Amino acid sequence: MKGSTVEIDKTATILKLLGDKTRLTMVKILDTNDCCVCEFVEIFKASQPAISQHVRKLKDVGIVREKRRGQWIIYSLNRDSEYFPMIQSLLDHLPNQDFKLKELEEQGLRISCE
């Protein structure tokens, strides 16, 4: 049991980060799809710097990873994070958000990253 738990203080930090509508939705989306910043900008109707700052926070604590693909930077869930099991069981209680990406595809706004 001990081996599967994470520190309570650090967990609070993670939950505070996930306690934001935008970031929580981001992580839920990343649970089933990799995404780039420009897609999040469309999905959340937010500014590019705002989105960049959100993903940066997630990256700083190791929840997400980035990898460059050409001019785009693709973000993905870091399934090797020590917090991933907890985050995963959390996400399981949230409704699927894939429809947001489907909407993008229908608008032809997802070509950039695929």
| Rounded alpha-carbon distances, angstroms, from residue 15 to 24, 44, 48, 113 | 10, 20, 24, 29
- Residue 67 interacts, among its own copies, DNA, none and using kind-specific CB cut-offs from 5 to 8 Å, with none
**Binding residue for its own copies (CB under 8 A) from 68, 93, 107, 108?**
93
Query: With contact defined as beta carbons under 8 Å apart, do 55 and 38 qualify?
Result: no
Shortest spacing between CB 39 and its own copies, in angstroms:
18
**Binding residue for DNA (CB under 7 A) from 49, 79, 85, 103?**
49
Establish if 37 lies at the interface with DNA (CB under 7 A).
Answer: yes
User: 3-state class of 98 per DSSP?
Assistant: helix
